[in-house]
Amino acid sequence: MANVGFIGLGTMGAPMASHLLDGGHQVTTATQFAPAPKELLDKGLQTVDTNKAVSEKCDVIISIVPDTPQVEYVLFGENGAAEALGAGKIFVDMSSISPIATKEFAAKVNETGAEYLDAPVSGGEVGAKAASLTIMVGGPQDTFNKVMPLFELMGKNITLVGGNGDGQTTKVANQIIVALNIQAVGEALLFASKAGADPAKVREALMGGFASSKILEVHGERMIKRTFDPGFRIELHQKDLNLALQNGKAMGLSLPNTATAQEMFNACAAHGGKAWDHSALVRALEIMSNHEIASAST
């Protein structure tokens, strides 16, 4: 049994921590910003006052929070987790944040004598609840091996990509692919619908061919059925594509299709949709075309 700290019990973190509890581990969280979920307390979740206290009590500390500034605060803010890190402890950040900042955070954590893994995830709320997340890890092999039993309780496809920062780089690449696929599926179903075909039947046919994908399967259905409750919020995908575009600019890369997908998300946000599921990117396309995909099948 491991003594695990878990900071960030939101849409993703709560089910992930629940799996650790179900696996027989002792899990502790901090209540300095939000109360712990009752369903986790009922499973035996322990609480302390601060992130520092989590580090004092636990050997492995996991964080999954919205963005780079929040990870920095968890580690280095007032009563931050880094204040109680040292030899024998491991900090695992499962948030999706800047690869460049991640390398800086890892170096500071290593200076305390502790070890660091960046381990962002893909699979959304569904994957978190099903313990089927893809986990992309950056850090030393021996540290990865130590944490692997915990990863296996939360995910299925678990890969050590390289050193610190490489996990976050992989997640940014993942988010580029996902966004562009959502846009492609949206455009295809919008085209089919406007042409008078039943988009549900079109999707069914495409699922048996080379165009088949998880995005077509899951988000194509969302587009047709108009189920845009998150899921994974547009505002979070905007954050991830900002990382792609900012880091791409720093490296002298041109990412034109990523930029276009970001503009589609921006348009959705401008229409009040920042909290929509990211499959609702199609709404920006529909607004421009004055046509909804579902209209041909209702």
| Catalytic (active-site) positions | 171
Bond preceding residue 138 cis, omega within 30 of 0 = no
How many whole angstroms separate alpha carbon 47 and alpha carbon 167? 29
Helix (H, G, I), strand (E, B) or coil at 35: coil
* CA–CA distances in Å: residue 109 to residues 92, 105, 240: 11, 6, 24
| Helix or strand run (H / E) with residue 225 | helix 220-225
50 and 30 Cβ atoms separated by less than 8 Å: yes
Pairing of strands 121-122, 133-138: antiparallel
Comparing CA positions, the residue from 122, 127, 126, 123 lying closest to residue 137 is 122
Contact 185, 216 (CB under 8 A): yes
Q: Residue 42, exposed/middle/buried by CB under 10 A (0-12, 13-18, 19+)?
A: exposed
- What is the 8-class DSSP label of residue 277? B
Tokens representing 216 are 């077509």
Cβ-based burial of 210 (10 A; exposed 0-12, middle 13-18, buried ≥19): exposed
